[in-house]
Structure 1
Amino acid sequence: MKDVNIGIDSIGIYVPETVQDYRYIGKETGIPEDVILNKFGIRGRHKALSDESVSDMAEKAALIALNGFDPKEIDLVVYCGSEYKDYYLFNLAAKVQESIGAINANAFEIHSLCSAGVYSLKVLKSMMKEDSSLRNVLLVTSSKETDLVNFKNQRSRFMFNFGDGAAAVLLKRGLNRNIILQTHMITDGRFAEDVACYNVGCKAFGDDNGGKFVEIMLDVKDPESMKERLDPVSLSNFHKAIENSLKKSGYSKNQADFIAPIFMKKSMLDEILKEYGLTEENSFILKDYGHCQSADAFISLVEGMKMGRLKDGDVAVLLGAGTGYTWAATTILWGEIN
């Protein structure tokens, strides 16, 4: 059977209008503004209003991605965003399918926290290559995890850069443009329970809390222990993910042209870029977005195109990393391919 390409036809990005800048974050956290701006690497984050749900943002990003494309032609809608959704035990993919009018599409969800967007490209590429009935697939991610971050909880300070937003990606079978190549992921389950909403789930609900309301928030069991174990492996695992994704795609490490990263400290991104002979001009720093869960790499692609940093013929590598811990990279051959 002749091989068929799976390409990205369009990407839609949506972020709420309200912006909380580094001054606001500094005031709320008690951390000096210059530390928020320079060490945390964030100038501002978008914050959804109380009446704007995760599915609302997902729908808006989806409609931007479709840009007039008939939703009745979509064969599958997949949600890969935050597990903090409109409701507990709720199928957000089905909600988006209905709200955008994709009446002929099936819908399901993929969850791998903040690496899900990057890895979902591999899953959907494989499905679309194997099943010729999957011609047009919409991948959607959304996050409102700012609701879960308590600025007074210093254990969770690495989450103070979280921002709200959504992204949607329209994939097409047989599209010879923005072709999805190969993916590599690394998982280190030693970190599986380091970060969680510990008061939600069967373990928490099995406890007697005397009927009292318990604030739901993301937390870190032991920040010092996590940092001690994470620091020695994180950068090297990013490199392994990038280099293996490139190698599987038929490229060497010096052939990468653009890195579309997850939100990370500028110092770490600088180290990653330097390793591949690249500079900030070959990437996009998410300092005005913050960390929008698995939407980050897609935001970077869109902004990279706007700035002229991502060009036709470029080999682009998308990066994701999720607590748990996972590191993922997917290589895309960008632009029109003859």
Structure 2
Amino acid sequence: MKKVYIKKFAIYASENVMTAKSISEETGIPEDVVREKLGIVSKPVEEKLSLSDLSMKSIEKIVGPADSSLKRLKYIVSAGSDFKDKYVWTLAPSLASKLGVKEALSFDISSQCVGSLVALDMMKSRISSESNFDALISIATKQSHIVNYKDRTGSFMYDFSDGSGAVLISEEKGEYEILQSAFLTDGSFSDVVYAPFGGSFILDKDIWSYKLTVSEEKAWKERMADATLRNFIRVITEATVKSGYDIKDIDYLAFLHTKRSFHREIMDALGIDRSKSIYLEDYGHMQGVDPFISLKLAEEKNLLRPGNLICLVSAGTGWTWGATVILKV
């Protein structure tokens, strides 16, 4: 089977940050709890740039106006936040226009914080079955702006941060070979997190809001506590085995931002040494960008060597858990 690679990737995080102290003042939660339990020392928050602007910030790091990769682009996929520049609007065609690309299929997918891995798997499949083209995946979010910091039921969203990632994938040899992925959706959680604004079945227009809300809080927390650990282990194991490896072969786990205790719990449950992952305490949860932030930090800290096996992991409300295994070239 044809090999497919992450040819290049880049991230962009806003220079403006919200600190643990600021989050404490906003929410009423003690600063030490924000730092130690929620695991947020600081997080990027973007006040000026739109979602499309954020997307371009990372895209321009890997493809410029004269880049030959632009001529090879057949797909441009936006796999980031549904909270976009405009309501009922598709972002990817706007990105294609900004890049001057007129012959690519440009579309958005909506899979929340696991969307980046879903897109990676989709585009790997397309490149495997077709010839001589590249695909560009953009992941951007400004969801810090739709968190209700006064609502304690949504405290697990207090880490939402702003930024973007861009991933160029190709049959041409690149930085990482993309191996196999695994995904699992439990639709019983589908109505737990949403923004009431724009809901076609919401009759009382006075309750419309773009702020995220949480329903079924008690039932959700009780069921999710067991389901999320179990399902993360399942998709990580399945993606690794499908790729021809065992969990013990994983050299680095690029895991999304969660509570500090859960990050430790998942590492211990998998039997992977905690030194083989970086906790994103200075980035918060940047939606589907998280695994790529972790990967970039691992590169910057010289933790990766050719031949290393890396597992990218995320999960999105809905609820879908996902893992993609890649090999350092």
Q: Pick one of 48, 53, 61 that aligns with 1:64.
A: 61
Over 3 Å counting, the alpha-carbon distance change for 1:213 and 1:276 in structure 2 is closer
Which residue number corresponds to residue 126 of structure 2?
127
Which residue number corresponds to residue 199 of structure 1?
197
Question: Which residues of 2 match residues 280-319 of structure 1 at below 5 A?
Answer: 280-319=274-313
Q: Pick one of 137, 140, 147 that aligns with 2:138.
A: 140
CA deviations over 1:234-285 (Å, ceiling 9, x no partner): 1111111100000100001111111001111222222222234433321121
CA shift for structure 1 position 177:
4.3
Question: Which residues of 2 match residues 73-88 of structure 1 at below 5 A?
Answer: 73-88=72-87
Question: Where do 5+ consecutive residues of structure 1 fail to align?
Answer: none
SS of equivalent to 1:224: helix
Counterpart AA for 2:158: F
Which residue number corresponds to residue 151 of structure 1?
149
Query: Are positions 1:234 and 2:228 aligned together?
Result: yes
CA shift for structure 1 position 232:
1.1
Which residue number corresponds to residue 115 of structure 2?
116
Which residue number corresponds to residue 275 of structure 1?
269
Distance 1:112 1:106 in 2: 19
Runs of 4+ displaced beyond 6 Å: none
Counterpart AA for 1:66: V
Which residue number corresponds to residue 96 of structure 2?
97
Distance 1:4 1:215 in 2: 47
Give yes or no for contact 2:7–2:172 (8 Å, CA) kept in 1: no
Over 3 Å counting, the alpha-carbon distance change for 1:258 and 1:35 in structure 2 is same
CA shift for structure 1 position 167:
0.2
Which residue number corresponds to residue 167 of structure 1?
165
Question: How many residues of Structure 1 are paired with residues of Structure 2 in the alignment?
Answer: 327
Distance 2:242 2:151 in 1: 42
CA shift for structure 1 position 185:
0.7
Deviates more, 1:84-93 or 1:23-32: 84-93
Distance 2:247 2:310 in 1: 12
CA shift for structure 1 position 214:
4.1
State the Cα RMSD in Å: 1.6
SS of equivalent to 1:124: helix
Counterpart AA for 2:285: H
Counterpart AA for 1:197: A
TM-score normalised according to structure 1 size? 0.93
Counterpart AA for 1:317: C
CA deviations over 1:14-70 (Å, ceiling 9, x no partner): 111110100000000000000000000011111111x31111000111111226733
Query: Are positions 1:181 and 2:183 aligned together?
Result: no
Counterpart AA for 1:59: M
Which residue number corresponds to residue 18 of structure 1?
16
CA deviations over 1:180-213 (Å, ceiling 9, x no partner): 1111111111100011112322112xx143xx58
Question: Where do 5+ consecutive residues of structure 2 fail to align?
Answer: none
